[in-house]
């Protein structure tokens, strides 16, 4: 049987997307849609006292103005997490459709619904909003102080959203051991934005007493629930449809403007209403990555052995909880696992500030944790005089390591295998030697960083996937999954797995790419690098169920026992002699049109997944640092991943390249900045925000170690997010090697380097 | 448990349709669609010798011109029948996408695809088509003659599409019995058109190597097959989507322009192309009702007893086979059943002519057969001096009658029950007496006619239905069926049956009204008055399967045995004491989000139906005839139906009213006319074609006899088409009573009456 999994077949949506024929939300929206524009807070913190709507309502084309005084008094959560029936495990419901208590510069205050965009914009400008201003706070540790402005007074007397700890052994006792070397550092990561190509947008209308939202989202089934919660309606009253999506990276793993858009439709008699975020709004009024400040203290023996470690992380949540504490908690969770140490004390804090809301973003807390942790490892190496790669080979989690909570196991020697491949690809040993003891103004360095990641969210949250397959008369089939294509190539990988699960050529597999919650089997969507791992379970199970039905029907039609039948490459085979008895198309046609026993052939299954899988890898970076100019040029970058068996090597490589690009921006150029005096965002556009582009990259190299994951039906595990995890610390460590200067904040821009190089005496004023 | 079936709940789509919010094909088509216009034959019969496209192609906005010389050489069938794997039972494949051999005035010759409608129309006008003209024939019996122009030379040397017979007993011997009275008549019915509000239209585009057609069709799954056949592609390469449809009445029970539209898209790189028929094209280039000429001879004893009968019917098929012989064959099939007679000889012919193509239309051959047969019964009554109602009560099929072929059984005394109700409603006896022996210029009369009909197509063709149900977290559910809402209210009736099958309030049932062949369970669609009868089987079976799953999960969650649990009104009940253990919403939420055993709850089943059900009824009409003016005024009309248990009485009544309107037009005013010299249609527009409207109707009355059909899960049987079956002969018989003149052709216009009244000596020149 010819297998499809493992082949670099072209993307199933390649032609559509390359030719521009693929339809996204904006392409699909009806001609007669009303346009929504949002009036946004021009202060960082305070109360809306009044809104004068008269002038706006008088504008020709303005249909309706709705303000924060009109919305239902229902706080709702937005995080794209599976729901939990345990109230203590539910997401924080801390925002309304429009907010009277505004908590960041750009908060949603009112909407204007108009016949066209011009009238809507004019309407927003004509609104007269009167505020009562309050003091605001942007810094995470300032916000923790007792006298800080209280951002969610309805939630108690502190801005701390959550604080959790991990304590293993006895840190305080252990660090007293004589002869230990103490290494300490503070590591800062910035607020960045996902910058997917397609801004979030959605449109809504009422149909038969229900509200339908077509949205650019990663998580249609979850958005359905959040939207219903926001509207205070039964969940079945809401239908979400997700067409092609032009990227999400976690930003669209939240209910964004679907609830507001749905509510607006209900306020104009169910008419079609369309809201599309501008790029400026996408930067500020969607979600951003949590800026996290991390403090690490390690006590090591002279040989590098870790004796006692302390980890503190302060995560800047911004104005609303969104994904909240999950991000920093995940980063903290990686810390004791990656370099096992008997005595560890960890604390993570998530804190409201008057900044844009932080939510999910590719690798969910791990880029921050890896920047801190992997920078810190090189700090240790420096302190004890050990080569960083050698240190990692010696102290990273060993083969056979099992995490007690997730039950994840280190089945293979993945780290060493990845490091071997990466070293070779970048010619590490030669360069490491060559770049010792440089003295000139232009110096080079190589650096390495590793990452740790999971595949999905079990056991923290529910993992389940459902799949349905429908056989056509010609032997081709459609399949539906709740897991979503958002640009990453999921549909192609799923199609390959379906082909092998059923026993048909991949050309005969048609993915139903659009999730419509009315008919699509339940699935939670694209996040947590879960999809290829999680969906593979339901694909395999449903494929087997379909195959069983097919073979039973083949038995009816051919009179051969099922035990002597197989489905291979779309043909019914008699296994005893390999004879082709009929094609699947012949079987399906006969089955459907049989006057004796007509059956349409489908299968549908839910699979709950109670396992998870480590996914590992590393980045090697080579830089050239122009010390007087404080500029870093990235010469080489290699990512190596063990994400199990590759479903589609070409797509895997593309996914890695995208993540590396994101890591480069994270390390060197990207940061959303705010005016300290007003809280106003300063660079929320693609001109002033320095998104990493092709022009900033060296030729990106990637390599894979394919250790089949034993818990996974096809041996695959998470790859979506990890490529963004370890790039920034690898660059940081390369700069460290080149200059001897530890840059402990991202992005490592000339401004930052200037300060650090001056402090280190490399340059003068 | 509160039942939903039997209640006149409002239509589930009432609000959408009343407010104009419901989306039809044209509403959904994208803004950037290319427009297709068809160049049509201006001769009734001949060959296209050449088409000069240069001028058309030079028009600004014209994208592509395609002619009959460009199409694939693949003849395909269009009839909306379930496919048969038996070649002898397959529909006739006698047309191509565009035709070089043109066979009627209006035949499809070429298409122009343009950026906008104006350019497309200009393009069509600029085409220079050169024809080789051939003689043509419009009359069905002329077309049967050996020297008639041969319309499908590729199909042999005769225009007869098919000829079938029924022979019971020995007609020739039996009619020799002495003392028999011979009654003979020829009855003519016209070519009429369905005149649904929404003209047929569709749009097509390619996606991922497949072609998608969104169409105003009654039969998405069948159109998928026909379109694939026309394109010569695997059936799974085609996807059909059916949104709301503004009426079909059988016209859209054919592949109309879906194949051409799909092919056009493939010829412009898969771009979105839109074709919408004008009203003029709908009249001529879609389908029409077969004009059938029927010849009946009855030999009766003086008491009216039928001894020997002969039936010959000649069905005018027009240019292409479409549904072909099925229509007249059905009419012929009714003949020996309705008034059983030991010696019957029947022959039915379907014959090609150079007229627009005849296809399915509401009641599929029965209005023609009832006009002939029921007029003929009154002719018999006249001949033997018997009151028409008395005759029917005496000689109609008796209780217990079983048809050997269909196994349909007359379980109840339905005819007498219907006649009783109808008599009473129209005050028949009083009027019958009052209208005897009138002499003035204005005379009144009452008439009656009955009808015979089936529910679905078994055992002639496959009957199967599939259904899928998806439970939401709030206990509401969606269901999908291949059976289609086309304006008749099917979705509402289905929803009511689903509610009762599962055990939830109908408000919690959401119908997926749009059939998308990629995900919708297989079903053949709206025709043959099948849907409420046929779909009820799959609804019941799927509802029970869903309920079983729900109760198993309830057992998991409550630890009560399944045998002590029930689902009533959306609540899980402990049957031992009637206690509500939890709501279905609570169960569904817990099931989906369970960390122990997460399941989404769905069910899907195919049911093959191997039964059929008689459906009966009658029409009473009262007319006032202005003899000098040759005008008929319809004073009263009553339809009475035994269609089994009513699912929704209000909707049933509305359906009857619509059918009565159609019957009135059929009887009195509607006829598509042709120029005898050119074959050109003369009145293919709603001004010159005299469609019956509200203004032409008396207050329409309907009544029902609810004898639950034993073969049917909810007791329901066919009602969709029958209301159109017996109106015209009832009017004819009322005129007969009023004037003593037998009008043996429809429509009974002043032109026809003038001729007949003159012949009868009632008026002079």
Long-range contacts of B90-95 (CB under 8 A, 24+ apart): B91/B321, B91/B323, B91/B324, B92/B155, B92/B161, B92/B321, B92/B324, B93/B229, B94/B152, B94/B154, B94/B155, B94/B320, B94/B321, B95/B320
Question: Contact B236/A598, CB-based, under 8 Å?
Answer: no
Question: Contact A598/B606, CB-based, under 8 Å?
Answer: yes
Question: Contact B508/A236, CB-based, under 8 Å?
Answer: yes
Q: Decide if A158 touches B, using CB distance below 8 A.
A: no
pLDDT above 90 (res A286): yes
* A669-678, B24-33, B319-328, B508-517: segment of lowest average pLDDT: B24-33
Question: Contact B205/A235, CB-based, under 8 Å?
Answer: no
* Number of residues that make up chain A: 765
Pairing of strands A602-608, A515-516: unpaired
Q: Decide if A583 touches B, using CB distance below 8 A.
A: no
Identify the three-state secondary structure at position B210. strand
Radius of gyration, CA atoms only, chain B: 27
Q: Decide if A26 touches B, using CB distance below 8 A.
A: no
Q: What residues pair up with A607 in beta bridges, in sequence order?
A: A465
Task: Report the C-alpha gap between A9 and A18 in whole angstroms.
Answer: 16
How would DSSP label each residue in B212-231? Answer: EEEE--S-HHHHHHHHHHHH
Q: How many DSSP H helices and E strands does chain A contain?
A: 20, 27
Examine residue B747 and say whether the peptide bond preceding it is cis (omega within 30 degrees of 0): yes
Note whether B296 and B310 are within 8 A (CB): yes
Structure confidence at residue B1 (pLDDT): 59
How would DSSP label each residue in B37-69? Answer: EEEE-SSSSEEEEEEE-HHHHTSTTEEEEEETT
Exposed / middle / buried, residue B294 (Cβ in 10 Å: 0-12, 13-18, 19+) = buried
Pairing of strands A108-114, A34-40: antiparallel
> What confidence category does residue A31 fall into, taking pLDDT thresholds of 50, 70 and 90?
confident
Q: What residues pair up with B313 in beta bridges, in sequence order?
A: B294, B348
Task: Report the C-alpha gap between B530 and B720 in whole angstroms.
Answer: 8
Task: Report the C-alpha gap between A428 and A734 in whole angstroms.
Answer: 11
Tell me the residues of chain A between 637 and 696 that have a Cβ less than 8 Å away from chain B: none
> How far apart are the CA of A546 and the nearest CA of chain B, in angstroms?
13
Q: What residues pair up with B511 in beta bridges, in sequence order?
A: B479
Task: Report the C-alpha gap between A649 and B44 in whole angstroms.
Answer: 61
Segment B541-554 mean pLDDT: 98
> How far apart are the CA of A596 and the nearest CA of chain B, in angstroms?
9
Give me the sign of the Cα torsion angle B582, B588, B591, B594.
Answer: negative
Angle B734-B738-B742 from CA coordinates, rounded to 5°: 70
Residues of B in contact with A518 (CB under 8 A): 470, 478, 510, 512
Q: Tell me the two tokens of residue B531.
A: 């849907």
Can you state the percent helix, strand and coil of chain A, rounding each to 5? 30, 25, 45
pLDDT above 90 (res B441): yes
Q: Which of A19, A220, A223, A236 to mutate to test the interface with B (most CBs of B within 10 A)?
A: A236
> What confidence category does residue B765 fall into, taking pLDDT thresholds of 50, 70 and 90?
confident
| Chain A residue with minimum CA distance to B271 | A21
Partner residue opposite A600 with nearest CB, options B16, B271, B522? B522
User: What is the average pLDDT value for chain B, to the nearest integer?
Assistant: 97
Backbone dihedral region of B525: left (phi > 0), alpha (psi from -120 to 50 degrees) or beta? left
Structure confidence at residue B764 (pLDDT): 86
| pLDDT per residue as tens digits for the range B287-332 | 999 999 999 999 999 999 999 999 999 999 999 999 999 999 999 9
> How far apart are the CA of A478 and the nearest CA of chain B, in angstroms?
6
Residue % of chain B over a pLDDT of 90? 99
Structure confidence at residue A765 (pLDDT): 73
Contacts of residue B155, Cβ cutoff 8 Å, sequence gap at least 6: B92, B94
Task: Report the C-alpha gap between B326 and B720 in whole angstroms.
Answer: 18
Structure confidence at residue A386 (pLDDT): 98
Identify the three-state secondary structure at position B392. helix
Question: Tokens 């085409």 — which residue?
Answer: B127
Partner residue opposite B31 with nearest CB, options A31, A85, A522? A31
Note whether B102 and B136 are within 8 A (CB): no
Residues of A in contact with B228 (CB under 8 A): 474
> How far apart are the CA of A520 and the nearest CA of chain B, in angstroms?
9
Partner residue opposite A85 with nearest CB, options B464, B468, B593? B593
Tell me the residues of chain A between 588 and 607 that have a Cβ less than 8 Å away from chain B: 589-590, 592-595, 597-600, 602, 604, 606
DSSP character at residue B646: -
Q: Which of A9, A14, A19, A208 to mutate to test the interface with B (most CBs of B within 10 A)?
A: A208
pLDDT above 80 (res A211): yes
Q: How far is CA B120 from CA B29, B64, B110, B117, B273, in A?
A: 17, 10, 12, 5, 12
| Chain B residue with minimum CA distance to A609 | B598
What is the ipTM score, two decimals?
Answer: 0.95
Choose among B670, B79, B542, B548: nearest CA to B317.
Answer: B79
> How far apart are the CA of B334 and the nearest CA of chain A, in angstroms?
24
> In B503-561, where does DSSP find H-type helix?
531-558
Task: Report the C-alpha gap between A580 and A592 in whole angstroms.
Answer: 21
Note whether B246 and B197 are within 8 A (CB): yes
Contacts of residue A691, Cβ cutoff 8 Å, sequence gap at least 6: A195, A665, A669, A670
Structure confidence at residue A1 (pLDDT): 59
Q: Decide if B466 touches A, using CB distance below 8 A.
A: yes
Q: What residues pair up with B466 in beta bridges, in sequence order?
A: B606
Question: Tokens 């010299």 — which residue?
Answer: B677
Task: Report the C-alpha gap between B276 and B287 in whole angstroms.
Answer: 15
Residues of A in contact with B234 (CB under 8 A): 472, 474, 476, 585
Give me the sign of the Cα torsion angle B567, B569, B575, B577.
Answer: positive
Segment A292-317 mean pLDDT: 98
Q: Tell me the two tokens of residue A747.
A: 């992005």
| Chain B residue with minimum CA distance to A30 | B28
The pTM is what?
A: 0.96
> How far apart are the CA of B361 and the nearest CA of chain A, in angstroms?
24
Q: Decide if B508 touches A, using CB distance below 8 A.
A: yes
Q: Which of B522, B585, B591, B608 to mutate to test the interface with A (most CBs of A within 10 A)?
A: B522
Residues of A in contact with B85 (CB under 8 A): 589-590, 593-594
Examine residue B459 and say whether the peptide bond preceding it is cis (omega within 30 degrees of 0): yes
Note whether B249 and B665 are within 8 A (CB): no
Choose among A131, A84, A123, A88: nearest CA to A107.
Answer: A131
Residues of B in contact with A21 (CB under 8 A): 205-207, 270-271
Question: Contact A234/B21, CB-based, under 8 Å?
Answer: no
User: What is the average pLDDT value for chain A, to the nearest integer?
Assistant: 97
Note whether B98 and B66 are within 8 A (CB): yes
pLDDT above 70 (res A332): yes
Identify the three-state secondary structure at position B677. coil
How would DSSP label each residue in A214-270? Answer: EE--S-HHHHHHHHHHHHTS-GGGEEEEE---S--TTTTSB--SHHHHHHHHHHTTT
Inter-chain CB pairs, A–B, below 8 Å: 159
Partner residue opposite B270 with nearest CB, options A21, A83, A234? A21
| Chain B residue with minimum CA distance to A593 | B84
| Count of beta carbons in the 10 Å neighbourhood of residue B49 | 10
| pLDDT per residue as tens digits for the range B486-496 | 999 999 999 99
Question: Contact B598/A585, CB-based, under 8 Å?
Answer: no
């Amino acid at each position: 049987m010819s297998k499809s999994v493992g082949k670099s077949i072209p993307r199933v949506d390649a032609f559509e997307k390359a030719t521009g024929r693929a339809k996204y939300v904006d392409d699909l929206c009806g001609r007669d849609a009303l346009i929504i524009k949002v009036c946004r807070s021009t202060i960082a913190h305070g109360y809306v006292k009044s809104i004068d709507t008269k002038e706006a309502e008088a504008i020709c084309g303005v249909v309706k103005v709705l303000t924060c005084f009109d919305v239902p008094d229902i706080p709702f959560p937005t995080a794209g997490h599976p729901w939990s029936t345990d109230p203590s495990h539910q997401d924080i419901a801390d925002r309304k459709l429009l907010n009277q208590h505004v908590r960041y510069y750009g908060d949603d205050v009112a909407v204007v619904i108009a016949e066209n965009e011009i009238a809507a914009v004019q309407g927003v400008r004509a609104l007269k909003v009167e505020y009562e201003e309050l003091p605001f706070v942007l810094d995470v540790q300032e916000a923790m102080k007792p006298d800080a402005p209280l951002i969610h007074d309805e939630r108690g007397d502190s801005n701390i959203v959550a604080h959790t700890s991990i304590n293993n052994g006895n840190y305080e006792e252990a660090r007293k051991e004589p002869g230990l070397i103490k290494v300490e550092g503070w590591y800062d990561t910035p607020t960045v934005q996902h910058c997917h190509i397609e801004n979030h947008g959605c449109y809504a209308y009422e149909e038969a007493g229900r509200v339908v939202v077509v949205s650019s989202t990663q998580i249609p089934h979850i958005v359905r629930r959040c939207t219903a919660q926001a509207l205070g309606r039964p969940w079945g009253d809401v239908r979400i449809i997700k067409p092609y999506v032009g990227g999400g990276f976690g930003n669209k793993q939240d209910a964004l403007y679907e609830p507001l858009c749905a509510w607006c439709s209900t306020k104009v008699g169910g008419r079609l209403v369309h809201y599309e975020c501008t790029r400026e709004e996408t930067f500020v009024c969607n979600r951003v990555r949590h800026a996290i400040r991390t403090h690490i203290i390690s006590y090591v023996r002279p040989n590098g052995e870790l004796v006692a470690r302390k980890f503190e992380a302060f995560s800047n949540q911004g104005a609303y909880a969104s994904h909240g504490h999950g991000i920093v908690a995940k980063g903290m969770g990686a810390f004791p696992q990656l370099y096992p140490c008997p005595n560890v004390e960890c604390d993570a804090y998530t804190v409201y500030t008057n900044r844009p809301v932080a939510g999910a973003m590719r690798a969910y807390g791990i880029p921050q944790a890896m920047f801190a942790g992997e920078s810190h490892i090189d700090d240790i190496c420096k302190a004890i005089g050990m080569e960083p790669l050698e240190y990692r080979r010696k102290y990273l989690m060993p083969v056979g390591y099992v995490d007690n909570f997730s039950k994840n196991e280190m089945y293979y020697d993945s780290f060493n295998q990845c490091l071997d491949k990466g070293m070779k690809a970048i010619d590490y040993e030669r360069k490491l030697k060559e770049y010792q003891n440089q003295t000139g103004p232009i110096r080079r360095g190589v650096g390495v960083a590793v990452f740790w990641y999971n595949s999905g969210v079990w056991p923290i949250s529910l993992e389940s996937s459902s799949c349905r397959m429908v056989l056509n008369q010609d032997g081709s089939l459609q399949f539906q999954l709740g897991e979503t294509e958002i640009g990453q190539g999921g549909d192609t990988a799923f199609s390959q797995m379906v082909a092998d699960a059923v026993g048909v050529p991949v050309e005969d597999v048609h993915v139903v790419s659009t999730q419509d919650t009315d008919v699509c089997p339940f699935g939670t969507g694209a996040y947590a690098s879960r999809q290829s791992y999680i969906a593979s379970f339901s694909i395999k199970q449903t494929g087997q169920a379909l195959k069983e039905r097919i073979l039973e029907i083949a038995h009816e039609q051919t009179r051969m026992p099922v035990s002597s039948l197989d489905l291979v490459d779309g043909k019914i085979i008699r296994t005893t002699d390999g004879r082709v008895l009929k094609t699947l198309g012949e079987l399906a046609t006969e089955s459907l049109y049989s006057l004796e026993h007509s059956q349409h052939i489908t299968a549908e299954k839910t699979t709950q997944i109670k396992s998870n899988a480590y996914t590992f890898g590393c980045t090697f970076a080579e830089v050239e640092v122009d010390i007087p100019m404080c500029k870093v040029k990235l010469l080489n970058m290699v990512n190596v991943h063990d994400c199990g068996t590759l479903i589609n090597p070409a797509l895997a490589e593309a996914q890695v390249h995208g993540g590396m690009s994101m890591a480069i921006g994270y390390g060197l150029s990207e940061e959303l900045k705010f005016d300290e005096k007003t809280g106003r965002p300063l660079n929320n556009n693609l001109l002033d925000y320095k998104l990493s582009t092709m022009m900033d990259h060296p030729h990106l190299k990637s390599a894979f170690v394919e250790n089949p994951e034993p818990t996974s039906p096809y041996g695959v595990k998470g790859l979506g997010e990890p490529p963004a995890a370890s790039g920034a610390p690898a660059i940081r460590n390369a700069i460290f090697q080149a200059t001897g200067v530890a840059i402990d904040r991202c992005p490592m821009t000339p401004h930052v380097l200037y300060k650090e190089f001056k402090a280190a005496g490399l340059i003068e004023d």
